[in-house]
Amino acid sequence: MTDTQRGANGRIVRAAANGWGETAVHHPSDTPGPAAQAAIGYAERLGWPLTPGFAVEDEACGCGEQECAEYGAHPVPGAWRLAACATPTLVRVVWRMCSDAPVLAVLGRPVPGASRLGAVQAPALIGVAALELLSKRSAAAGPAVDGHGRISFLVDLGVGPEDAEDAEADFECWQRAGLDLTVLGGSTTGRSYVPLPTPGFSGRAGVVWAVPPVQGHTLPPIAAVIEVFDRAVRSTYPSLWRTVHAKSA
């Protein structure tokens, strides 16, 4: 990874000093390659369930779609939710079979520092505004992934479904207004994965850490993060914010 990378929304993001998703430049032939090293590192330091995504060849996603919208950032077909693993030993075995695969975190499960791993995903403009606001609220600040024109904020969904359902209800007014704010991981039928920065996958739809994780830190509760998004929408789309609030008043 170079010193800086450009996120999908055009922001310049400096590589994290703590090496999240990074590997050394040289690897002996008997050790895992960069993508596998990144997966093992995430398992060791985060303990999140991981699954491999489609590899990329010649700027084309391995899924076969010529213009794949999730280029190198979606899982291969099959029981990927059930097969996702969090222990370094199992992750090493999986990535030995697909050494060039990008790393995806599977959501909706208990992980160290969270009752259930989830994500709040926002379009780039709203996401950048939310990042600025969250940087001033330590209780709600947590890791965030920037890629594919969106920013995903990793959160704790809580033990039961209520918190995620409340957050989804809060977002309904914005979705009806055309803003694609989404809660991920709260439902078994919706999208339940987030791509993590992986060496070799910084091409036309690169994924980088907007805010890198801190090992051993708990993830913010989803309710604390959701509160920020009303202000983020207000600062990004003030006219739309006033219209939506006028209708709901």
SS3 annotation, 193-210: EEECCCCCCCCCCCEEEE
What is the band of 6 on the pLDDT scale with cuts at 50, 70, 90? very low
pLDDT of residue 239 exceeding 80, the answer is: yes
Query: Average pLDDT, whole number, for the chain?
Result: 81
CB-CB contact of 25 with 82 (8 Å): no
**pTM score:** 0.84
pLDDT of residue 238 exceeding 60, the answer is: yes
Distance CA 151, CA 229 (A): 12
CB-CB contact of 21 with 44 (8 Å): no
Q: How far apart are the first and last CA of the chain?
A: 49
Res 18: pLDDT: 52
CB-CB contact of 155 with 118 (8 Å): yes
pLDDT of residue 242 exceeding 60, the answer is: yes
Tokens of 90: 């199992």
What Cα–Cα distance (Å) separates residue 232 from each residue in 122, 125, 139, 164, 229? 10, 9, 17, 19, 5
Residues 6+ away with beta carbon under 8 Å from 242: none
Distance CA 141, CA 171 (A): 19
pLDDT of residue 28 exceeding 50, the answer is: no
Res 166: pLDDT: 79
pLDDT of residue 56 exceeding 60, the answer is: yes
